[in-house]
Amino acid sequence: MAKPMIITVDDEPQVLNAIERDLRKQYRRDYRIVKAGSGQDALAAVKQFKQRGNAVALFLADHRMPQMTGTEFLAEAIKYYPDARKVLLTAYADTEAAISSINEIGLDYYMSKPWDPPDEHMYPILDDLLSDWQATVPQPYDGIRVAGTLWSATSHTIKDFLARNRIPYQWLDIETDPEALALVEASTTEPRLLPVVFFPDGDILVNPTTAELAEKCGLQTQATAEFYDLIIIGAGPAGLGAAVYGASEGLHTLMVDKDATGGQAGTSSRIENYLGFPKGLSGADLARRATAQAKRLGAEILVPREVVEVRIEHPYRYVVLDDGTELGCRALIIASGVSTRRLKAPGVEPLTGAGIYYGAALTEAAYYRDQPMYVVGGANSAGQGAMFFARFASKVTMLVRGSSLAKGMSHYLINQIEGSENIDVLTRTVVTEAHGSNRLESIMIRNIDEGNEQRVECPALFLFIGAVPHTEMVAGVVERNRAGFILTGSELVSGGRRPAGWTLRRDPYLLETSVPGIFAAGDVRQSAIRRVASAVGQGANAVNFVHQYLKTV
Ligand SMILES: Cc1cc2nc3c(=O)[nH]c(=O)nc-3n(C[C@H](O)[C@H](O)[C@H](O)COP(=O)(O)OP(=O)(O)OC[C@H]3O[C@@H](n4cnc5c(N)ncnc54)[C@H](O)[C@@H]3O)c2cc1C
């Protein structure tokens, strides 16, 4: 496969040679470095590369060039390569121009001259942009292929698992692609058992479990030790925050997740309100970055492994995994979050995965291009889902139980929805039935006030209908409220009385549960503010309390 390119443009030969030298030094192995002495020359080359089918990963252009500025060049070049990352090389006085380029052309970064030493001022930035490009832009295919039928729930599970773990794959639909069908028939004696997963090394897995798939894909599913300073249940933003701080502060840290790192946030199409990302970022991107960071700092991450039980043997805490493995620790953080409540209506269960999806199901949504989609729910996640689907659906209809969106949704999202031509909002409306022989075809919807029901054609229904906490594994161990959310800190002290069984002379710390040394962070807590930033902050903060607790045992 031809290497993707990095194209750099500068009219000053000395600067151009210096950039080329530094780029070659770091990236020559994986990328072809191409230089040009003007925007016009670079554009001519870009057009040729496009015709030949070459990939361009990054443009690095000097802003100050006669005839065509760097910004003008980038604006033209991205017409050919919209996914390439764009960096402007600027002098100190060009900062204003660079900032306006962020808005005008979606500039990814502006790098000030001089960039010496490149190890500090150039490579970390470009590494980040290039790994982002690699992770998000489809490359010519030589990886894992999944063959199945679009409407099978088992195929959906496997695709969802791969997507959530950010493992690239190519989907082969055996109903529409005769070559894919022939491939499946030639590879298995039971072609009705789907999906079939083909690996680049020639291995094939037929209808695998996610654990089998994880192992084959190189995810860590077994712990390397039996005992840790800190175990974290759940690798959403709260768990990842705790893992980064725990590991970086010297705690031998293990994090366990039953599905994928990133949690709910990992399924978000765009997170606009996370500090430091002015253009917003996708949940998958955030999850990928945070996972890499936690691993680099030394945290061990097991995926997919579910914690099914938590046990206390003073002063230690033990978690039991779904395969029976028992792991001990000195302190435990529960960051197991919440998941979408299930819709209980006739027909929904059998069609889940075949037109009905919980959460954003980004991989599946793309199959409904130019078709009508329905979104159930009135909170931010539903709003984001609707905005995302509206990019390619013929029409998105939001079904909201409440009388307006204002109750549960951020103002900026309501504005975006109101400004979208192809999103309709039906308030005081619920889904009462789902119909379809082997995939969703229609739903019954009812207006709660008027009581009248109608059947509407509906190929795709996405559900965002409230949250249920994942706390079964600590039932009877730590105090929870009636809905199952975990109580922490002052919530456990009432009228000066500490929780039952609490023997210490101090009150529980802010994020501590009713059992000393067991902490909770993120959405799983009773009083959680359901935001990525607060989950991350609580994860980090919980580690601070872990240190305080460990000093006393
Ligand atoms: C579609 C969507 C869009 C969103 N967009 C935004 C946004 O734009 N901005 C914003 O601020 N917030 C947003 N949110 C909310 C935000 O994602 C959550 O508040 C945040 O993810 C909570 O983080 P958490 O770590 O507490 O829990 P979660 O993200 O729920 O993560 C919990 C993790 O624990 C794992 N787990 C559960 N039980 C077990 C077990 N027994 N064993 C092992 N692992 C277990 C789960 O698999 C999961 O990965 C969005 C939520 C959704 C669903």
Query: How far, in Å, is the centroid of ligand 1 from the Cα of 450?
Result: 36
**According to the model, what pLDDT value does residue 104 have?**
83
Residue-level pLDDT at 401: 95
Cis before 469 (ω within 30): no
CA 232 to chain centroid = 19
Looking from the CA of residue 263, the nearest atom of ligand 1 is 49
Instruction: Count the Cβ atoms, other than its own, within 10 Å of residue 451.
Output: 7
Q: Which residue's CA is minimally distant from atom 37 of ligand 1?
A: 336
The answer to whether residues 239 and 539 touch, using CB atoms and an 8 Å cutoff, is yes
Q: Burial level of 248, CB count in 10 A (0-12/13-18/19+)?
A: middle
Q: Which atom of ligand 1 is nearest to the CA of 473?
A: 41
Q: How far is the CA of 423 from the centre of ligand 1 (A)?
A: 26
Q: End-to-end CA distance of the chain, in Å?
A: 57
Residue nearest atom 44 in ligand 1 by C-alpha distance: 257
Q: How many angstroms is it from 274 CA to the middle of ligand 1?
A: 14
Distance from C-alpha of 252 to C-alpha of 329, rounded to nearest angstrom: 9
Is it true that the peptide bond before 117 is cis, omega within 30 degrees of 0?
A: yes
Nearest to 26 by CA among 113, 137, 127, 131: 127
Of 391, 398, 397, nearest in space to 362 by CA:
391
Determine the pLDDT at residue 320: 98
CA of 546 to the centre of ligand 1 (A): 22
Distance 264 CA to ligand 1 centre (A): 3
Ligand 1 atom index nearest CA of 336? 34
- Nearby residues of 481 by Cβ (< 8 Å), 6 or more positions away: 487, 526
Ligand 1 pocket test, pick from 165, 268, 376 with the greatest ligand atom count within 8 Å of Cβ, gives: 268
334 C-alpha to center of ligand 1: Å?
Answer: 13
CA of 426 to the centre of ligand 1 (A): 27
Q: What is the pLDDT of residue 529?
A: 87
Can you tell me which atom of ligand 1 is nearest the CA of 241? Answer: 25
* Ligand 1, atom 53, residue with closest C-alpha: 264
Residues with CB under 6 A from ligand 1: 233-239, 256-259, 263-265, 267-268, 271-273, 306-307, 335-338, 359-360, 380-381, 384, 470, 473, 522-524, 530-533, 535
Beta bridge partners of 424: 397
For residue 157, give the amino acid letter.
T
Q: Is the pTM of this model over 0.75?
A: no
* CA–CA gap between residue 404 and residue 8 (Å, rounded): 51
Closest C-alpha to ligand 1, atom 38: 336
Phi, psi of 143 (to 5 degrees): -120, -150
Per-residue model confidence (pLDDT) at position 229: 98
Task: Please give the backbone phi and psi of residue 186, each rounded to the nearest 5 degrees, phi first.
Answer: -80, -15
Q: What is the CA(412)–ligand 1 centre distance, in A?
A: 21
Residue 310 Cα, ligand 1 centroid: separation in angstroms? 21
Ligand 1 centroid to Cα of residue 338, in Å, is 6
From the alpha carbon of 385, which atom of ligand 1 is closest?
1
Could you tell which of 267, 336, 511 is best to mutate to test the pocket of ligand 1, judged by most ligand atoms within 8 Å of the CB? 336
Can you tell me the distance from the alpha carbon of 35 to that of 504, in angstroms, rounded to the nearest whole number? Answer: 67
Q: pLDDT tens track of the chain, all 553 residues?
A: 578 999 999 999 999 999 999 999 999 999 999 999 999 999 999 988 877 768 899 999 999 999 899 999 999 999 889 999 999 998 877 778 788 888 888 899 999 888 999 999 999 999 999 999 988 887 656 679 999 988 788 898 999 999 999 898 989 999 998 878 888 888 888 877 899 999 878 889 999 999 999 999 999 999 999 999 999 999 999 999 999 999 999 999 999 999 999 999 998 888 888 999 888 899 999 999 999 999 999 999 999 999 999 999 989 999 999 999 999 999 999 999 998 899 999 999 999 988 999 876 666 787 889 999 999 999 988 999 999 999 989 999 999 999 999 988 999 999 999 999 999 999 999 999 999 988 999 999 999 999 999 999 999 999 999 889 999 999 999 999 999 999 999 999 999 899 999 999 999 999 999 999 999 999 999 988 889 999 999 999 999 999 999 998 8
Q: How far is the CA of 534 from the centre of ligand 1 (A)?
A: 11
Q: Distance (Å, rounded) from C-alpha 40 to C-alpha 77?
A: 10
- Measure 523 CA to ligand 1 centroid, in angstroms: 7
Cα torsion for 73, 76, 77, 79, to the nearest 10°?
Answer: 160
Distance CA 286, CA 270 (A): 10
What are the residue ranges of helices labelled H in 334-424? Answer: 348-351, 362-365, 380-389, 411-418
pLDDT of residue 340: 84
User: How crowded is residue 122: how many other Cβ atoms within 10 Å of its Cβ?
Assistant: 21
Sign of CA pseudo-dihedral 278, 279, 284, 289: negative
Ligand 1 pocket test target in 264, 306, 534 with most atoms within 8 Å of CB = 264
